[in-house]
Structure 1
């Protein structure tokens, strides 16, 4: 049975939040798993039948309905999420996400914030154990990440576990930030005890599980290697693109675009004097030129990030020529934390808090500085910063014309499409 939800035109903003809770509820997942998703049609018919909705309200309704429908995709194919079918990977588990959240997102303005930090950190033990339980159950059904992904996850878990408890980044984060704000308290000893007595033993249990499961991981890399993999991949593709293209159709589009971009690169490289070898070989040669590389030292990394900040400021000065409304939220540029850099993406974006208390963050992975020849960095800034994710998402957050669910939710096809377009403007 579905939860009872009543919508009205006046209360759509609040109702959208209720709809989000509905989508996340166990009853909703149960309905999907038992083939009762037809109730969604009945629910929306009962709520909105005969009501006159404005054009913007119809868009809001379409967004809520689409997000609810997508919540059904995973249970239909036997997973929680088609786009993330494994509980533990090098990018997805509580042992990675919670420390990162605590350091980059959790506020630290007063003693209450510090106490909340300790409470959240203490709760990480339960989250890690939940990941262990869920991954063990998934593995019994053949849902286990590829061996290379588990290797990276193990590498990061061991790196997170390696320092003495008092030197852990989970401890040093609160020590550093409370000292900066002048928040009195025995934060070092209290946090160290949590890490030593609760978190490290839980990480040890997760390491032991992955070491046990890794030999059972099916060979290969793609979703085809797991039960119902073709269905899972197709569902993930639909969620990511919001289209009904088949995997073969998208693959064909990809091949065509690679050929088109390769031809464009060939022209550009020849004009720059790079004429010998394939396009790939010429790019590889360009990427190793000393004048294109920052030093793989703390000073070199600082210089690289300084160049990114300069690029953002330069672009910000140009934005008024194309945009009437500009983002108010500040943008920080930071290196990906060492503990998660082995498996993290090369670049990604965290939006600012809605209340403005925390800036947006554009992350760059500097594990290998040589991954970032100087000529590649402007495109990354245009994508992750401005006029890409930061401009688009920040303006959505501040909009007075859309409900909360549209400020905080997102569609990859739209946000990534805008960011890719931004690289070319």
Structure 2
């Protein structure tokens, strides 16, 4: 016969041991949860730290590109020099404007007489400054016969020296600016004839082999034309496809096959779309190479899966009661979709489209395959003119050895990041502003 006291003690001991086991397991689980949170916070902090280092590096190298060293020269627009035969615009467009710059420098530094010294003196002003003088004369012919003070861009080596990227204390053999040029720069500084001004050329000029004359306007126009064409093609097709698959398509093997392929296309590497565009649009259809029309066709194929998937998700988010109420009031299927469902789903569709456009803006690989990597000086004005885009322009500048192109590469990256962040911010705003929660 069992002792009642002994049985009670055993049950108490069992309860105590079970409680201890549960407490130990809870402590382990809470400890594991704390470690998991710590790992997550550490990962987030590392990501933010690397992002901060990246942004600091880009901004630190690129912010100086928004200012440009310029030299003030008194330019005498000699009519006999520029238009000796009075040929009008054609003669003025072909005149030697760099000769005017050399005359002005020779007048400012009359003591420079040796040929080698003159070459070093003339090299202090950008070789592309003559184009700016030509544009001034062609725009305003009243300048002929007058002496006008003009701020002209300095050579990239002088610009790098003024910005502190070249150490003037180094030996002359180890820097790209010689001692005589340093003396001339000091003299110009004392006369307030060499200063750093806002670099308007960076935003108004096309690409150039001279860093001080290179700008992003051509790449921006190419990106703008390409994105406009991509949106005009991808948005209607993507919305129509999403509406059909979600509202009208029967559920069968064919539609399942289409949905699977749309989801697969969203994960296809972008360079594959570039190969497809090269094979189909250029080699088969014979469309002009290196043009925005080719770029928008390729990017349309790339962004369509994203827009379709986002459109279907937006349509699914509309409650069935909206459709049932419209149909109950006598509206047709098409009227229900166009008058009730689509307006409610449109904010989500627009958000997906903007995100797709932001991805298209930052793409480089597919556009390299269709030839938009060419050196384009002129700013494109139509969909059929040769052009490049901002990411490809960054790629081209990053491959250039000059130090001045390094800061322009970083500055172009800053401009690209600004547009990408703005587009994603617009998508977030539209979603929060017009999204309805049911």
| TM > 0.5 | no
Q: TM-score, normalised by structure 1?
A: 0.18
Q: TM-score, normalised by structure 2?
A: 0.18
Task: Judging by fraction of residues, say which structure has more helix.
Answer: 2
The structure number with the bigger radius of gyration is: 2
Greater relative contact order structure (CA < 8 Å, 6+ sep): 2
